[in-house]
Structure 1
Amino acid sequence: MQTRTLAPDERGIAAAAQLIADGQLVAIPTETVYGLAGDARNGAAVARIFEAKGRPSFNPLIVHVADAQAAQTYGDWCDMADRLAQAFWPGPLTLVLPLRADAGLSPLVTAGQNSVALRAPAHPIARALLKASGAPLAAPSANLSGGISPTRPQHVAQGLSGRIAAILDGGPCEVGVESTIIALTGEPTLLRPGGLPIEAIEDALGARLALRSEDSAITAPGQMASHYAPNATMRLNAKHAREGETLLGFGGTPGAALDLSVSGDLIEAAAALFDHLHALDAGGASAIAVAPIPDHGLGRAINDRLRRAAAPKDH
């Protein structure tokens, strides 16, 4: 299969919408990372997502929708969902809700569970494609499973060229880490920190979020122990590089090959994280030492990705 690159204009979006209608896969830009999109109602298309990524079938997918009204087609809505959607949609927040009996989604999307993960992306190209296709889009990150998430179209091509129909080129992603995932199937629970700070969500709810136990069953994307990983080994909270290590800095770390944010800005660091890991991989780094990152705001999402990237790989 030859992978086409589509321009982010009316013609490119129309071509992407036709490919989606034909059951094909298109990598699309969102504000968080590039997603590998297929019609969430089409079992063959969803199966192609798992095949292209080499993704385990027990790992559920996020369904991207235009807005809260569309989300209510697939998940049982509630007051808390309404409050969070009004505050943060479109944006980097995914809500896990009870699956409606008449949702019409492929069972592969939910990995056979009775809940569904829903998000309304903010990126104008993603929103235009949702409108043009008229389809709910299952769209995990557009990379090989377990690898570094893609924040540029070149990252997608490196991993998936020849495995998918097209890449819709929207340039670099603004947020740079995946969405924050909140379960509303019971007590509001943080399933994955991400591009929306937890503090903002708790302020909107007027309550603290419960935390998922790391040894509980996988109920949402991004919960596998080893994930987002470069080829290199990684050592975290490093004050300096040891022999043979390449240093990834933060806040102006002396001797860093790359710095996530020289000024110590966590928003800038989140946007740069995966791009810098891709660059270190491409540069042939065999071991990466990562400077300490403050564990608040977007720092929680950055540290979550780094811990999973540094975890022992399953292969």
Structure 2
Amino acid sequence: MYYNNNTLIYLDGKFVKASEATTDLYCQTLHYGYGVFEGIRAYATETGTRVFKAKEHYNRLKNSAALINIPFDYSTQELVDATYELLEKNNLNDAYVRPLVFCDPNMSLARPNNVSIMICAWEWGAYLGDKRLRLTVSSYCRPHPRSIKIEAKVCGHYVNSILATNEAKDKGFDEALLLDSDGYLAEGPGANLFFEKNGVLFTPQLGNILPGITRATVLELAEKLGVEVKQGLYKPEVLVSADSAFFCGTAAEVIGIESVDERKFPKSWNESLGRKLQEAYSRLIRNSEKILSTTH
């Protein structure tokens, strides 16, 4: 699904075949989840392949490593250039790009002496599909921000996401919705949450959620479209009176939510703010149309 015998990956400054690449089984990342990663999208546009917000993603990768004391000295531009070259070598236009910073062999809990960088890419549609989602509020909560660096995209953090997603799917839902440790709305296992009420968008504030790059893009688009957005702490009960809702993330892009624990949102998706932002986001990533304000 992800590679074949001809697929190349970028590994520590060289392009090597994915089928021939190796790592050490004593790797600290494998044993403890002590590593950082990113999810990045590349799109075919009228002017060629475009890696969407590549610098922002690689800046976050470097920041994630710094936050958890992983030494990583590649420059953002080096990583951006390597990504474009990787896509070209693999003849990929529309692709998902996965950089991973992983540590050397180390069975202790001390910071690593050396790390490696791997970048791979493959063709991948929208992670959550294109149908509106049926969610359930998870029994798992997001980790407390004093227990981890919540703003870092760390490998081990995603055990929480895997548990929540599988619990939801085992119950017959499409995906989970997680609360924070104080019972406020947080996010999905791999996407940020927005909901609409009376023509205003609401989204959980930073502090207990991953500061998503797609989330930031949606906020930028909302401002350009003249949509009011409020960020704050919201109990899950507010969704009972909400008109519509959506998730957003690099892998998921912008995807509507049909219901939460079988309670359907009453507003037609095609008439919702989420749909307007979904269309604006699609135009932006394909770089095919200027975003115009709905107030004009």
TM-score (norm 1): 0.25
Q: Which has the larger radius of gyration?
A: 2
Write 1 or 2 for the structure with the bigger share of strand: 2
TM-score scaled by length of structure 2: 0.26
